[in-house]
Chains A and B, each alone.
Chain A
Amino acid sequence: DGGITQSPKYLFRKEGQNVTLSCEQNLNHDAMYWYRQDPGQGLRLIYYSQIVNDFQKGDIAEGYSVSREKKESFPLTVTSAQKNPTAFYLCASSPLRYGTEAFFGQGTRLTVV
Chain B
Amino acid sequence: GIQVEQSPPDLILQEGANSTLRCNFSDSVNNLQWFHQNPWGQLINLFYIPSGTKQNGRLSATTVATERYSLLYISSSQTTDSGVYFCAYDYKLSFGAGTTVTVRA
Contacts and interface: CB of A to CB of B under 8 A. Distances in A.
Contact of A94 (B30, B44, B86, B93): B93
A42 interface: yes
Interface in B31-46: 31, 33, 35, 41-45
Contact of A107 (B33, B42, B48): B42
Contact of B48 (A42, A50, A101): A101
Contacts of B35: 104
B48 A43 contact: no
Given A98-B31, A101-B48, A102-B33, A48 B43 contact: no
Nearest to B98: A42
A100 B47 CA distance: 10
Interface of A: 33, 35, 37, 41-45, 48, 50, 56, 58, 88, 90, 92, 94, 97-104, 106-107, 109
